[in-house]
């Protein structure tokens, strides 16, 4: 019954709304003895932060994280060591413009959670979307920065692979390009195409969907569990919990529906190092819910931002039909900022399963 | 930490392997006072049962369910009333041929969980795939039959919408056709195409993937929860926990990546009955993780059966390279039998959220 | 939300009623590779079994356990090896006399859960107390037998230390005496006193309460967790979940209220083996919720059996006042059979915490 | 796996150490629409606050609570309405004297968790006891203040009933006296006895244990659950999780061991209002784990404060034997301040079970 918690041994509980004083998370179950600095977290928060380019929302948030508990500050003044007790991280909201929410407090924005929150709870925090705001994901990214340190030797990376109908050419994939553009795009040839396309979308006050791919390399074989704690299932759940995500796939994903057993099989041989290796990775690094040692590959689809400048039909709290045009600062493609969030969810899920596996089996990878 | 449990208030714990004496589940948290008969469960088990057509495995299992606890048998001799205590359901394995597992006990079948189980646990039950066998899903279907009765007025249905590259024509969709063919296919024009295609696959000792769509109609608005208990997230997790599933999507799913905000928005009006209605359902019945009152629509991709008659390269327990050809009875397209399983997972997830919502908000739908 | 489950990594879900076809449990999260035989379980079931002496209920139950899943049977025909998947254990009810429950189905027996079940669920399984029957504890004892093997080197033992006002003399404590009498009494001088006293109680159709002490020796320091997963807290919860238990204490327990800080402190020195040792164990082996390495000592109070032959005032389902005299086979002192149950709960709790500690800290004791 | 969380539907996660910047809690699952003010919380925090009399620690903490999320502030400027999303409460530490922890960082104080934390985690936050400090309980008291509002009509009260060997006379019990003395003592005749006794203890630099009784009146029948979610079990777990608690009992508690079935039975009749009533309450308001409608009565024993001025033998981190004398500000009897904490745990547990019952059964009390 954890509506705002994910993970089992590495548990993350987030709290906070878009326009309250702060948001944050509590990480419970983190192993003791892990060293980190504020900048280890800030690096990832900055990747998710709004206002980084013209293709994301212009809201200005410092997104500075504070560590309130669960650590022993070291004498160097910058290093924290985890103590095994709950780590409380807090990010203050600084750009919460006070304004009149008169209409928005009463009208249901299409595609947003306004109507469903009101039906469920009988009221809602209409200020900036309240709890349903994507601002909540800052807490995940902060937690993910700690999670990355739990199982050493794993690289968690993400990339945007599709905006609208424009898909990257996978043959051009270069992880080094990710930081060279505003899209976390691994295909340098796609960058100008997306720039032109998104400029058009942005100027039209429109928005568009996207697909993100996240990859974890260096995950040892044996993490995950059969049946209802499958590693792929929990990765899917983690990614699906990100705002605006409508689909998740592992390895071949939906494409597997078109393959034959021969095409989809990942055959095995013994590598030069004497260790088992797979000749392909259609499985995306997971078989029977358990990691194979191959890179774990997941993709998720992000719907277009629901806030657009075109007037749409909707109703209000009193059941009156109204026409609504969303104002304010918004992302033309929320999929962009979803990249670091997807990485964080992947890191948290794998950290969790590493501890669960170690608990049940006593294996130390 | 529920490796073999799903749900929070309507909790299902399954147990059992392919070739042990029995398999089953324990349902905890079911509301009291629900009436059901064995045939209410058997109906759904029969839909999943092997041996129903030439397109599914020829293993013969009676799949007869026994109710061991949690009910008050009524005087009519057929009706059970739930008492609110754990419902234990058991299905005995009857077709567990005793045989020599010599080779299979040592060799890792590509695409199967043999290697990953061995790495994780240091040993595995190699008899019929052990816990990773799709036989486990019989327990889910049984649980789903009870779950269907928790929130009255909801219809849970599923259909196969794609086999290999052959997708149904959605304009032909007729739920009444589902029972008229061996595929749970809603498009009668597609049936002969699939028959020919699967006969070919089957004769070649090959297999192919598929896509299943499941729909819940009549779910009231307000079920689900924000953030880490999103209704779509938990549906995705439930479907992804089914063997061989590699992708899940809700509503527009991956197609949402190609849409603009205008195209994807579900506008609202007031219906003739004075109640809110949506003019479209791109969202698949869920906004912000909470149901909208529209049909809940999910799809999942099932990979091709890994057991094929073509010889594949692999290794054995000792790290020796071997060539392996799977024998035995198998489904050319496991996606077919996944239809009733998907329905069951959807029903269990919605039953769970109905109780969770009632607990937190006190709403009685 | 685990109404019928306890534990987190070593999770036990029990099911079944007194007069249904069977009862049992599912153990999820057990480490792989643990060897056991049926007689390893049966030994403990036999200690709890009814009909062992004139001081316990004369109901006859074979209490034979079946292992339905989660194991790989070995070639010797008697040994099972756990596979890490759910272990399903089942005990069939054999002495469920068919009878007319007419009155008892309608009247609320004082001290029993009849009234509260009816209020909560709107109905109840009145046959033999249904789910509230102490028969459920057979499943715990079976699970405990497996739990004992999870952390090697620990001895779990229990004793009855008080019946009515008659308390044992702790100076006479001899664990070897436990098996020499019908009471699990460690003080041979108390045995004849209890025999006379309980004969009197039994002949009068009365009942009396008792206190049980359970001890775990060999538990390494460091198990447990601060705050809401304190080892003493979870032991207390486990013992309090046993039917008829009304109080639980650790170490000095309630006596600690009378002590000063000087009297209660367990001082430390370095032992001859160079390892830390405590000079006393007022703490009962737990400080700050974490084990100290000293024996873990807990006691629990069991109320007198509510079923007595004296007529008592009560009401029935229709709110009519009635006088009720319980018939049937009952324990004059249910505390006796609570000894193996208490041991089982202690073993399960410690097994669970051993795995949890291993997961979070990576320590291998 | 909730080391720092309690509750299932009304879930409280606490975080923070004695000498970090702040401590707090996140309440997840609180029903929407509950109105409260800061002073509703502060009232209870002030009762727990140090420095209220010479019998409690002289540490000075404002213990001012901030509400960071989960509420919709109302126009009156003081009222918050819960929105159903996580409520984050924070209390800043203001009296965290910077000092040299040199010795205490290395030496294990007898009776404290220093040694066990170090063994478990390999390090610990030695500043003021870190996470094991009783300061953590401020967060529980804050959460309890919200919990009190979940099930209207219930009164949660607590009293100190024993200090050392001095027990109150229950015939003198007067709830109105609780606020008239420094001990939450309901027996005015006992107050001067305790004053003299504790002055003596305090001047000697010693400490002493105590027993607290907490009572919930107005709880409807039907809350709780059979087996592993028994209401008494979860109350016991909640109380046992409070620092320094060594024993818990419900109703007659350990005294039940001395009673016969006749003495212990709570007979039933129909009251003048036509509703069932019990003629006595030996059960402490709970039968079979489910509330009876009678007052719920629990008691818990608190050990003497471990920090005393007498020198004690212990060891340090390097395994060297040392003599240690605790300095600093401490409570001569921590049992006193445990009263509001016990009330808070009782309120949280009952709120949780109210929501769980409503979820499973649909009953609205």
- Give the residue-averaged pLDDT of C301-327: 91
Let me know the angle formed at the C-alpha of C132 by C126 and C135, rounded to the nearest 5 degrees.
105
The total of other beta-carbon atoms located within 10 Å of residue B42's CB is 17
Q: What is the pLDDT of residues A220-258, one digit of tens each?
A: 999 999 899 999 999 999 999 999 999 999 999 999 999
From residue D27, give the alpha-carbon distance in Å to each of A68, D67, D69, D220, D348: 17, 11, 10, 24, 10
pLDDT of residue A98: 56
Containing H/E element for B163?
strand B155-163
Asked if D81 has any chain A CB less than 8 Å from its own CB, the reply is: yes
Residue with tokens 């992947």: A346
Closest CA to D289 of D349, D218, D202: D349
pLDDT of residue B61: 75
Residue of B83, B96, B116, B136 for testing the chain C interface, max C β-carbons within 10 Å: B83
Chain A residues with CB under 8 Å of C85 CB are: 226
Asked if C324 has any chain D CB less than 8 Å from its own CB, the reply is: no
- DSSP track, B211-261: EEEEEEESPPTT-B-SGGG-HHHHHHHHHHTSTTEEEEEETTGGGGGG-BH
Chain A residues with CB under 8 Å of B287 CB are: 111-113, 115-116
Count how many Cα atoms sit within 13 Å of the Cα of residue A32 in the half-sphere of its side chain: 19
CA C356 to chain A, closest CA, distance in angstroms equals: 6
Spatial separation of the C-alpha atoms in residues C276 and C289, rounded to whole Å: 18
pLDDT of residue A19: 86
Residue C78: band (very low, low, confident or very high) from pLDDT cuts 50, 70, 90 = very high
**Quick check: helix, strand or coil at residue C42?**
helix
pLDDT of residue C296: 98
Helices (H), B149-213: 191-203
- DSSP track, B291-351: E-SSPEEEEEEEPPPS--SS-EEEEBTTS-EEEE---S---S-TTTTHHHHHHHHHHHHHH
Residue count (chain A) = 365
- Give the residue-averaged pLDDT of B213-238: 97
A305 has binding-site annotation: yes
Asked if D20 has any chain A CB less than 8 Å from its own CB, the reply is: yes
Residues of chain D with pLDDT under 50: none
Max CA-CA distance within chain B? 70
Chain A residues with CB under 8 Å of D129 CB are: none
Determine the distance from the C-alpha atom of residue A310 to the mean position of all C-alpha atoms in its chain, rounded to a whole number.
Answer: 28
pLDDT of residue A99: 63
| B263 token code pair | 């195209």
Q: Could you tell me which chain C residue has the CA closest to the CA of B125?
A: C72
Task: Assess whether pLDDT exceeds 90 at residue C172.
Answer: yes
pLDDT of residue B99: 63
CA C170 to chain A, closest CA, distance in angstroms equals: 38
Q: Could you tell me which chain B residue has the CA closest to the CA of A354?
A: B120
- DSSP track, A275-317: SEEES--TTTTEETTEE-SSPEEEEEEEPPPS--SS-EEEEBT
Spatial separation of the C-alpha atoms in residues C77 and B21, rounded to whole Å: 15
Under a CB-based contact definition with an 8 Å cutoff, are residues B84 and B30 in contact? yes
Nearest by CB to A360, which of C1, C31, C226?
Answer: C31
Interface of B with A in 170-189 (CB under 8 A): none
- Give the residue-averaged pLDDT of C20-44: 97
The residues facing C14 across adjacent strands are: C25
Asked if C294 has any chain D CB less than 8 Å from its own CB, the reply is: no
Asked if A281 has any chain B CB less than 8 Å from its own CB, the reply is: no
Spatial separation of the C-alpha atoms in residues A117 and B157, rounded to whole Å: 27
The reply to whether residue A268 touches residue B313, judged by beta carbons under 8 angstroms, is yes
Asked if B271 has any chain D CB less than 8 Å from its own CB, the reply is: no
CA B158 to chain A, closest CA, distance in angstroms equals: 17
Determine the distance from the C-alpha atom of residue B223 to the mean position of all C-alpha atoms in its chain, rounded to a whole number.
Answer: 21
Q: What is the pLDDT of residues A248-269, one digit of tens each?
A: 999 999 999 999 999 999 999 9
Query: What φ, ψ does residue C317 adopt, rounded to 5°?
Result: -55, -30
Point out the annotated binding site of B for NADP(+): 48, 54
The residues facing B72 across adjacent strands are: B81
pTM comes to 0.97
| A95 token code pair | 């750009």
Spatial separation of the C-alpha atoms in residues C164 and B198, rounded to whole Å: 75
pLDDT of residue A126: 87
Task: Assess whether pLDDT exceeds 80 at residue B58.
Answer: no
Closest CA to C80 of C146, C15, C14: C146
Chain A residues with CB under 8 Å of D131 CB are: 69, 83, 85-86
Residue A63: band (very low, low, confident or very high) from pLDDT cuts 50, 70, 90 = confident
pLDDT of residue D238: 98
Closest CA to C206 of C132, C306, C303, C110: C306
Spatial separation of the C-alpha atoms in residues C85 and D223, rounded to whole Å: 34
| D157 token code pair | 């009260």
- Residues near A224 by Cβ (< 8 Å), separated by ≥ 6? A230, A231, A232, A234, A286, A289, A290, A291, A353, A357, B116, B120
Nearest by CB to D8, which of A1, A13, A130?
Answer: A1
Spatial separation of the C-alpha atoms in residues A328 and D261, rounded to whole Å: 72
Closest CA to B123 of A221, C83, A275: C83
- Residues near B286 by Cβ (< 8 Å), separated by ≥ 6? A116, B224, B230, B231, B232, B250, B251, B292, B296
Q: What is the pLDDT of residues A204-216, one digit of tens each?
A: 999 999 999 999 9
Could you tell me the sign of the dihedral formed by the alpha carbons of D69, D71, D72, D76, in that order? negative
Query: What φ, ψ does residue A165 adopt, rounded to 5°?
Result: -90, 0
Query: What φ, ψ does residue B247 adopt, rounded to 5°?
Result: -160, 150
Closest CA to D173 of D20, D297, D305, D338: D297
Max CA-CA distance within chain D? 70
Q: Could you tell me which chain A residue has the CA closest to the CA of C354?
A: A359
Q: What is the pLDDT of residues A280-306, one digit of tens each?
A: 999 999 999 999 999 999 999 999 998
A307 has binding-site annotation: yes
Task: Assess whether pLDDT exceeds 80 at residue B344.
Answer: yes
pLDDT of residue B6: 95
From residue B202, give the alpha-carbon distance in Å to each of B211, B306, B323: 18, 13, 21
Under a CB-based contact definition with an 8 Å cutoff, are residues C87 and C73 in contact? no
Chain B residues with CB under 8 Å of D289 CB are: none
pLDDT of residue A66: 97
- Residues near D294 by Cβ (< 8 Å), separated by ≥ 6? D266, D278, D281, D283, D284, D285
Residue with tokens 């419970």: A28
The reply to whether residue C360 touches residue A1, judged by beta carbons under 8 angstroms, is no
Asked if C364 has any chain A CB less than 8 Å from its own CB, the reply is: yes
The single-letter DSSP state of residue D222 is T
Region of poorest pLDDT, from A36-40, B265-269, C206-210, C271-275: C271-275
Let me know the angle formed at the C-alpha of B111 by A151 and C31, rounded to the nearest 5 degrees.
50
Under a CB-based contact definition with an 8 Å cutoff, are residues D4 and A28 in contact? yes
Domains and CATH numbers, chain B: 5-361 (3.60.150.10)
Spatial separation of the C-alpha atoms in residues A70 and A84, rounded to whole Å: 7
Residue B97: band (very low, low, confident or very high) from pLDDT cuts 50, 70, 90 = low
Task: Assess whether pLDDT exceeds 60 at residue B98.
Answer: no
Under a CB-based contact definition with an 8 Å cutoff, are residues C297 and C285 in contact? yes
- Give the residue-averaged pLDDT of A143-166: 98
| D27 token code pair | 């309440």
3-state helix, strand, coil in chain C (%, to 5): 30, 25, 45
Nearest by CB to B20, which of C1, C20, C68?
Answer: C68
Chain C residues with CB under 8 Å of B15 CB are: 26, 28, 68-70, 85-88
Under a CB-based contact definition with an 8 Å cutoff, are residues B190 and B169 in contact? yes
C149: left (phi over 0), alpha (psi -120 to 50) or beta: alpha
Region of poorest pLDDT, from B100-114, C116-130, D258-272: B100-114
Residue of B34, B223, B228, B360 for testing the chain D interface, max D β-carbons within 10 Å: B360
How deeply is A315 buried, as exposed, middle or buried, from its count of CB atoms within 10 A (0-12, 13-18, 19+)? buried
CA D146 to chain A, closest CA, distance in angstroms equals: 17
Interface of C with A in 223-262 (CB under 8 A): 226
Count how many Cα atoms sit within 13 Å of the Cα of residue C94 in the half-sphere of its side chain: 10
Residue of C120, C131, C165, C309 for testing the chain D interface, max D β-carbons within 10 Å: C120
Chain D residues with CB under 8 Å of A106 CB are: none
Proportion of chain A above pLDDT 70, given as a percent: 96
Query: What φ, ψ does residue A319 adopt, rounded to 5°?
Result: 80, 20
Counted across chains A and D, CB pairs separated by less than 8 A come out at: 147
The single-letter DSSP state of residue B183 is T
pLDDT of residue B19: 86
pLDDT of residue B330: 75
pLDDT of residue A327: 72
The residues facing B216 across adjacent strands are: B156, B296
Helix pair C38-48, C137-147: axis angle to 10 deg: 140
Count how many Cα atoms sit within 13 Å of the Cα of residue A356 in the half-sphere of its side chain: 30
Chain A residues with CB under 8 Å of C226 CB are: 85
Could you tell me the sign of the dihedral formed by the alpha carbons of D301, D306, D312, D314, in that order? positive
């Amino acid at each position: 019954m954890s509506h705002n918690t994910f993970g089992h041994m590495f548990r993350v509980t987030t709290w906070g709304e878009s326009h309250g004083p702060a948001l944050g998370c509590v990480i419970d179950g983190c192993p003791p003895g892990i060293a980190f600095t504020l900048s280890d977290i800030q690096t990832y928060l900055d990747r998710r932060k709004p206002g980084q380019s013209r293709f994301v929302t212009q809201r200005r948030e410092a997104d500075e994280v504070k560590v309130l508990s669960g650590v022993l500050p070291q004498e160097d003044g910058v290093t924290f060591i985890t103590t095994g007790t709950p780590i409380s991280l807090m990010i203050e909201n600084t750009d919460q413009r006070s304004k009149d929410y008169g209409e928005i407090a009463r009208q249901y924005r299409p595609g947003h959670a306004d109507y469903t929150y009101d039906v469920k709870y009988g009221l809602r925090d209409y200020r900036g979307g309240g709890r349903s705001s994507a601002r909540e994901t800052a807490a995940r990214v902060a937690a993910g920065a700690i999670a990355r340190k739990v199982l050493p030797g794993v690289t968690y990376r993400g990339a945007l692979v599709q905006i609208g109908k424009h898909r990257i050419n996978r043959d051009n994939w270069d992880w080094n390009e990710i930081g060279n553009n505003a899209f976390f795009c691994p295909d340098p040839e796609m960058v100008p195409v997306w720039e032109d396309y998104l400029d058009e979308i942005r100027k039209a006050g429109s928005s568009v969907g996207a697909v993100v791919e996240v990859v974890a390399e260096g995950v040892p074989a044996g993490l995950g569990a059969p049946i209802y704690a499958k590693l792929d299932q929990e990765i899917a759940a983690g990614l699906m919990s990100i705002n605006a995500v409508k689909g998740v796939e592992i390895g071949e994903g939906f494409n597997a529906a078109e393959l034959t057993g021969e095409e989809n099989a990942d055959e095995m041989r013994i590598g030069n190092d004497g260790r088992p290796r797979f000749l392909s990775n259609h499985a995306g690094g997971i078989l029977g819910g358990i990691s194979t040692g191959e890179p774990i590959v997941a993709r998720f689809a992000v719907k277009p931002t629901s806030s657009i400048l075109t007037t749409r039909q909707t109703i209000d709290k009193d059941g009156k039909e109204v026409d609504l045009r969303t104002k304010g600062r918004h992302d033309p493609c929320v999929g962009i900022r979803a990249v670091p969030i997807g990485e964080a969810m992947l890191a948290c899920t794998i950290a969790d399963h590493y501890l669960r596996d170690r608990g049940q089996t006593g294996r130390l990878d």
